[in-house]
Amino acid sequence: MSEIERTYVIPLRNAYRAPLTKRAKVAMRIVREFLKRHAKAEIIRISPALNNLVWSRGISRPPRKLQVKVKVTTEDGVKVAEVEPLEGAGSS
């Protein structure tokens, strides 16, 4: 089983085009789409820590960008990306 580990900075500025009451939800969708495109994985597993980071300031003010660490593995012939926040990112 091969494993690839990379770091990405995911821009979430387009989430601010959405209505106030949907921005964090749109930001999570942007994260999934970004990782499908760049990690070329079919299944995206977002860690609870990353979810809490996006939702930490509420639904209307998600972060403008995220630094994440992605591990891509193959499980039963399907690429799976496990994503978690980079250490120290968003802690302030």
Residue ranges per structural domain of the chain: 3-85
At 87 the pLDDT is 81
Cβ atoms of 57 and 20 closer than 8 Å: no
Helical residues (DSSP H) of the chain, grouped into ranges: 23-38, 48-55
- What is the C-alpha to C-alpha distance for residues 38 and 57, in angstroms, rounded to an integer? 27
What percent of the chain clears pLDDT 70, i.e. is strictly above it? 95
Name the phi and psi angles at 2, rounded to 5: -90, 150
For domain 3-85, the CATH class is: alpha beta
Q: Return the DSSP state at 15.
A: G
pLDDT digits (tens, 9 = 90+) for 35-66: 999 999 999 999 999 999 999 999 999 999 99
| Interstrand relation of 43-46 and 78-85 (parallel, antiparallel or unpaired) | parallel
